Every structure is written in C-alpha cells, then in structure tokens.
Chains A and B, each alone.
Chain A
Amino acid sequence: EAQVTQNPRYLITVTGKKLTVTCSQNMNHEYMSWYRQDPGLGLRQIYYSMNVEVTDKGDVPEGYKVSRKEKRNFPLILESPSPNQTSLYFCASSLSRPPAEQYFGPGTRLTVT
C-alpha cells in the first residue's frame, strides 16, 4: 500500500531532550516536507527537500533540523525542544515539485513540558 508513515504518533518529552521524528514513504517520491499544525494557524512548512541531499527552509525552520540521506526517509530532528514546539506535525511527500499532489502522513502529536 502506498503510504507515508511517521513515528512516533504521540510523544511527550521534556525541554532540552533531543528527539527525532521519522518519516518514510514507499512511493519513490522526490519532494518531501515537514509541517506543523497549530490551532488558528493552519499548516506551516518547516523544511522541504527536493531530492536526496537537497533540503531548504520553509517558513518556520527555527529550532528544527532535517536530513535526506535516502530518498524514502526524511527525519525531523529537534535538538533542544522547547514548549513552543508543542504541536501536531505532519510529513508529506509528492512525486515532484509543487504543485504535484502531496500525500500526508497520519501526524505526530508532540508535547514538550
């Protein structure tokens, strides 16, 4: 089944403890992206990747890192999480650059205390 998977689905952590949220797609998509969703703000793009080893900042990259060492994986790293990073995170992938259809993962709900 073609899909985007994210892990974990739920995570509660403390300020400053490094964490990684994994994202994987099995559709051989070139474009991958991370978003955060907060009430009243819609989705905001954190980082995106056009292909392996090619990443670029979205609108809210501060406090996040990404890497794209393999085409199928695009992990999101929070090296020192803070409470303002408490949010619902979505990974998405598309066959090619915008406006190709994006397929979203199921989301990761992160709480930083």
Chain B
Amino acid sequence: TQLLEQSPQFLSIQEGENLTVYCNSSSVFSSLQWYRQEPGEGPVLLVTVVTGGEVKKLKRLTFQFGDARKDSSLHITAAQPGDTGLYLCAGARTSGTYKYIFGTGTRLKVLA
C-alpha cells in the first residue's frame, strides 16, 4: 500500500517559471525528506524536516512540512534546466519501526 502520494506525477515547464510539488499522506510521519534523482544514479538528499509547520530554504528551493506532519511541499522559484530530475519525498516513522516510505515521485523537466 502506497502511503505517500505525490502530485503532479509529471511536470514540464519553461526556464524561469515557478512550481510546487506536493507530497500527501493520511498517516503521520516523524520526519519527511526530499530527494532528487538523476538518470542512472541513486537519489540524493535535499532536505529533512522534522517539526510540524517547519519551513526550510535551500537556495531557490523551499520545503514545508505540514502542521499535522502528514504532508509536505517543495516549491522551486525560477526553475533552471539543472533542476530537471525525479523528486521523491520520503517519510519515516520511528515508533517501533525504522522504515522509510517513499512517495510515488514527480518527474520534472525544465526547458531552456
């Protein structure tokens, strides 16, 4: 059962546009991570959020963890071709288990 749904699945935009990717669940997570994966490589961590309502910024990327810790969003300002890739959210529960649940992924293409 997939517990983390990402939207949209695919996104193709022009360089300079803004975009938001959503990661939603009916379950509560103790932390939420965002990864980016490029073709032929493993995912690379972008950010970890652990507090409900937390907002983190990484240059042009803004990450938010929902107040109830069930959802998260990734906002990219002025997208660039180098932002192209597969974006994955991943939730962790740390009460009695140390599993990760990954989202379904959002494939972003930024056109020059």
Q: Which A positions have Cβ atoms within 8 angstroms of B?
A: 4, 31, 33, 35, 40-45, 48, 50, 56, 58-59, 90, 92, 97-99, 101-107
Contacts and interface: CB of A to CB of B under 8 A. Distances in A.
Given A42-B4, A107-B41, 8 more contacts: A40-B104, A42-B6, A43-B90, A48-B100, A56-B97, A58-B99, A90-B43, A106-B41
B98 A59 contact: no
Interface residues of B, number: 28
Contacts of A102: 43, 45, 100
B31 A48 contact: no
Given A97-B94, A98-B31, A99-B50, A45 B41 contact: no
| Majority DSSP secondary structure for residues of A touching B | strand
Contact of B98 (A43, A56, A104, A105): A56
B2 A42 contact: yes
Contacts of B43: 43, 90, 102, 104
Interface in B7-21: 9
A106 B39 CA distance: 10
Contacts of B103: 42
The 5 closest A-B pairs by CB, nearest first: A104-B42, A98-B92, A99-B31, A43-B102, A42-B102
Interface string B70-112: 0000000000000000001010101001111111110000000
B42 A42 contact: no
B104 A44 contact: no
A8 B3 CA distance: 31
A61 to B, nearest CB: 11
